[in-house]
């Protein structure tokens, strides 16, 4: 089984004609889903593959399956990195808000003490 997958991966580097017809497309797409591996649901991978095919230029008539595999994996990595980036930015904003609130509470306390001292209240 591993040898069979290794052969499929090797062959994926060679360009093949883009499929014409739903049956040929489904077979081609499923072979790419198999090469990508279980990184997402089958429908999500089908969507990504279709998106990559739609983005191909008008003069492209053949492509390596590995090209699609790399594009989908890169897209998945970028999506995770974007989520991590957003999480870090949200943590920074929360820390800034907490610091601003702490500073404003300190200023109110200092102002209250000044007013109390001025009025002779302890």
14 DSSP 8-state letter: S
Indicate if the pLDDT at residue 111 is higher than 80: no
Indicate if the pLDDT at residue 109 is higher than 80: no
Residue-wise pLDDT tens digits, 22-60:
999 999 999 999 999 888 889 999 999 999 999 999 999
Q: Band of the pLDDT at 81, cuts 50, 70, 90?
A: very high
Q: Band of the pLDDT at 119, cuts 50, 70, 90?
A: low
* Residues 68, 36: Cα–Cα separation, whole Å: 9
Angle at 66 between CA 82 and CA 37, to 5 degrees: 65
pTM as predicted: 0.70
Task: Say what the pLDDT of residue 47 is.
Answer: 93
């Amino acid at each position: 089984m591993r040898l069979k997958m290794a052969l499929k991966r090797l062959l994926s580097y060679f360009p093949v004609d883009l499929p014409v017809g739903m049956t040929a497309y489904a077979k081609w797409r499923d072979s790419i889903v198999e090469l990508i591996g279980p990184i997402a649901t089958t429908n999500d991978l089908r969507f990504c593959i279709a998106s990559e095919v739609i983005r191909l230029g008008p003069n492209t008539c053949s492509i390596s399956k590995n090209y699609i595999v790399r594009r989908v994996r890169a897209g998945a990595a970028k999506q995770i990195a974007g989520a991590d980036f957003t999480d870090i930015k949200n943590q920074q904003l929360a820390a800034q808000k907490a610091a601003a609130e702490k500073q404003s509470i300190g200023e109110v306390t200092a102002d209250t003490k000044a007013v109390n001292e001025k009025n002779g209240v302890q």
